[in-house]
Structure 1
Amino acid sequence: MLYDGELADQLYCVDRAGRQNWPTAAQFMCASCMTVRASVWDHCHTHGFVRAPLCNRCNTRYWRGWRPQDGRATHSRNLDDSYYRWCPKHPDALRSCSA
């Protein structure tokens, strides 16, 4: 299933109790690579809003880098970072069709 803003405008919660009514990230494909199921909810570290579900590789690619020695593939053009716009405070914020 593709993510369509199911958690739009939702602040990220670190604790499981705060995410109790959320769909699991694994219900969705990774919003960045679109090749595997997501495993985590990505969030904007500046504003705190949920952005999109990501796989572990895509979730760590920016802060650890794309180094094959760390078990991550090299960067490719098929990766999409438009999911950043799910943060409602992003300058080009996206809105869900259902919102």
Structure 2
Amino acid sequence: MTQHSIRQAKRDELAFPVRVKIRVPDTGLGTMLDRMMAWLRANVPAANFACHSAPGLACSTAAFYFRNVETAQAFVSAFPDADLADGLASPAYSRAR
């Protein structure tokens, strides 16, 4: 039986049950992505998150994968200026208005 290699993004989809998709503007995420990655490295063990580009509805997205809802919520709260891929503002941003 031949084993086929599964792309890392597919493995992460199978391994991480919680996803947060952030809308990527036409100009890119720029320094926000740097801040997001720094936050993840500082607050989440490496084996408990992953990040990949992902298809979105009429937009480019960055998909952040987590092992649990609490970590995903903390991530979203840490970046209230990020737009969720469904076109809505982050819930934390909406509460701050």
**TM-score, normalising length: structure 2:** 0.30
Counting strand residues as a fraction of each chain, which structure ranks higher? 2
**TM-score, normalising length: structure 1:** 0.29
- Structure with greater Cα Rg: 2
